[in-house]
Amino acid sequence: MSENPYAILFEPVQIGPVTAPNRFYQVPHCNGMGYRLPQSLAAMRGVKAEGGWGVVCTEETEIHYTSDLSPSMEGRLWDDGDIPNMARMTEAVHAHGALAGVELVYSGQHARNFNTRAVAFGVDSFSVPEYFPAQTRMADKEDLRTLRRWHRNAAIRAKQAGFDIIYTYAAHRLSLPMFMLLSRYNTRTDEYGGSLQNRVRFLRELLEDTLEAVGDTCAVALRLAVDELLGEDGLTRDGEGKEIVAMLAELPDLWDVNVSDWSNDSGPSRFMKEGYQEQYISFVKGLTSKPVVGVGRYTSPEAMVSAVQQGVMDLIGSARPSIADPFLPEKIRTGQVEDIRECIGCNICASADNVGVPIRCTQNPTMGEEWRRSWHPERIPAAKKAEKAVLVVGGGPAGLECARALGQRGYQVTLTEARRELGGRVQLEADLPGLQEWRRVADWRLTQIEKLPNVEVYPGSEMTAEDVREAGFEDVIVATGARWRRDGVGRSLRSPIPGHAWKEVYTPDDLMAGADREVAGVNREVAGRLPQGRVVVFDDDHYYMGSVLAELLVGAGCEVTLVTPAPQIALWSQYTLEQPHILRRMKQLGVTMLPNTTLAEIEPGAVRLHNTLHAKDTGWMCDGVVLVTNRISNDGLYRDLRGEVGTTFNSLRVIGDAEAPNIIAQAVFSGHLAAQEFEEDVTGDAPNFRRE
């Protein structure tokens, strides 16, 4: 270990009565499994412990039925009946020598109680989130004593379930203790309101109760947001955030510190880069002798070592990087740094929890499938017939992952790509503002493919149906991607927009196609150049692309109007925690934003916009139009060949966007699924995964 330049990361750290075997700490993170899918959850956390994470924590774990977070699927320790499910996780984590942590939560104002229909206690009678017309009940002093008892009982159950670290949670504006701390929410006039010392009282009592109940054998951690990034309107690292840490400095066994809210703590890479939280949390170690863990989407071991050596933190906290690569610590330990599957910060993991489904990851297609499909991030079943040769047509995210995984299994793989540059849409999109880290999707797979002698890659090799036939492969997988529509047909408009053939109408493909880039479906008259002057971007995609292109065009000197039929700009990006950042960025750039608006007609020099709320049309002068609507699968090759299965070909499969346009994470998953299922019998009507 002494020869490892990252040896400091593998030093043990004492946390109260327990010892973490190293400095790699998977902080609590949601996963869409919770109490509903305990076997899936245990297997997912167990794989992380196997991969070298010294501490592996749960997600939010509800302590009582009046803090029901449905439809989000979180952990539960309502009563003793929940202990066996939670014990599945601790057993899976302990099997690999790691510590298990649990984040106990009473959400208060954040609890909707959709399932239990109970009334939550709150610091005040305050509205619950997401504009649901309901409020909490203001907790009186007897209610607060009851809450303390519930929290204590949950801590005791957590100890019985085998947890080593037990949290008190005051972060992200998702818990009652956090709301207690904030003067804009806490308007109480008793000893729990008013001064900061009073507002800290309830959090102190929870910590003291937990230490008394389980502190003999379990470490007690405090998770606290020390800055809300709201300036004087919220907690700040130089104001009350710092004062709270000073007040409680030596009370918990561990400080887990971050920024609030969740969209800032798990900041998208488009807006926040590696280590971005250091400036907000670096003061904490100067106020306490207890170990500190912090996060910052660390994927570089050099950045991790720096954070420890500079005294920012003792343990490298991770949620998203541990999802992208559960074996990140082990790869650093064994000198395989180039093999780290680095997080790209797209927050697809967060979107899964926000829509109530099991976690998934763009970089790691096995995430969430460890128990359900028996997938492992580092191991894959060996080829049944290693001499079998497979042709993969298309080197985008689906084709790259399919070729890589088939090669890892041991098959003889030939990968062809029409363009000279491999990576497909991820390589194109990575050149757009803020998306540089998305290139990692292609880069990691290309690095792994280079190490596989049984995978041959042929860029600049467009394949026709006749080419495929002449190549002589019996098994073919088609991953030829998709192209953006040119006619405006999308989610809102089911017919082409009149005037879409105007020469100054662009698609995202047109804007991403450089002079040396061959991109299917582009308008050759405009490819390689951007529109000039006044540009209308019509976004009927509702994810990141419309706003990214608006930013690109502003950077090129255009005056941009972003039009969307949705009630908000980039509506789906709320699930990936990007939307508030996108709205701020658009405002900063001077982009005119027109929600509830469709593009009714295009003519040279102008468009007709239709406001769907007022049923009113407005003329809008412009020098160019960008249509961000639906996409069309490039599935012509597959359609030309599919009638020959059983004659010319033994098997033929279409994957990724060529099968159906979707997000990049789904393309990667599709490629991995095809590789896993190759030569397997997956016919029939039943799902090809286990159900709990």
Active site residue 622: no
CA-CA-CA-CA torsion sign (259, 264, 269, 270): negative
C-beta separation of 325 from 331 below 8 A = yes
Q: Strand 631-633 vs strand 482-484: parallel, antiparallel, or unpaired?
A: antiparallel
Overall size of the chain counted in residues: 692
Rounded distance between C-alpha atoms, residue 481 and residue 634, angstroms: 6
Alpha helices in 610-663 (DSSP H): 636-641
- Pairwise CA distance, residues 377 & 506, whole Å: 40
Residue 344 and residue 678: Cα distance in Å, rounded? Answer: 28
d(CA 266, CA 250): 27
* Candidates 256, 265, 443, 475; catalytic one: 265
| Dihedral of alpha carbons 401, 403, 404, 408, sign | positive
Residue 30 designated active-site: yes
- Residue 172 a catalytic site member: yes
Task: Pull the structure tokens for residue 651.
Answer: 């098997």
Query: Is there a contact between 222 and 256 (Cβ–Cβ < 8 Å)?
Result: yes
DSSP string, 426-453: HHHHTTSTT-GGGGHHHHHHHHHHHT-T
Instruction: Give the torsion sign (CA, 449, 452, 453, 455).
Output: negative
Residue 360's SS3 state is: coil
Query: Which spans in 451-569 are helix H?
Result: 465-471, 508-512, 545-555
Q: Is the dihedral of CA 253, 259, 263, 267 positive or negative?
A: negative
**Helices 397-409 & 440-450 angle (0-180, nearest 10):** 30
**Which of 291, 181, 192, 269 shows the shortest CA–CA distance to 226?**
181
Number of alpha carbons in the 13 Å side-chain half-sphere of residue 76: 22
* C-alpha triplet 135, 138, 144: angle, nearest 5°: 130
Annotated catalytic residue within 29, 151, 172, 581: 172
Q: Is residue 416 within 8 Å of 461, Cβ to Cβ? A: yes
Going from the C-alpha of 177 to that of each of 65, 136, 147, 303, 578, the distances in angstroms are 17, 14, 11, 32, 26
Q: Which residues, other chains included, contact 627 with Cβ-Cβ below 8 Å and sequence gap of 6+?
A: 484, 485, 486, 487, 488, 497, 500, 505, 506, 507, 538, 599
Q: Which residues contact 306 (CB under 8 A, 6 or more apart)?
A: none
Identify whether the C-beta of residue 513 lies closer than 8 Å to the C-beta of residue 522.
yes
Q: In the structure encoding, which two tokens stand for residue 315, read together?
A: 């343990």
CB-based contacts of 25, cutoff 8 Å, min separation 6: 53, 54, 55, 57, 293, 315, 316, 317, 318
Q: What amino acid occupies position 659?
A: E
Angle in degrees, 0-180, between the axes of helices 240-248 and 196-214, rounded to the nearest 10 = 40
**In 3-state terms, what secondary structure has residue 287?**
coil
In the annotation, is 542 catalytic? no
Dist CA 234 CA 231 (whole Å) = 6
Catalytic residue among 169, 192, 506, 638: 169
Q: Which of 6, 30, 349, 361 is catalytic?
A: 30
Q: Which of 498, 586, 593 is nearest to 538 (CA)?
A: 593
> How many Cα atoms are found within 13 Å in the side-chain-facing hemisphere of 177?
24
Active-site positions read 30, 169, 172, 265
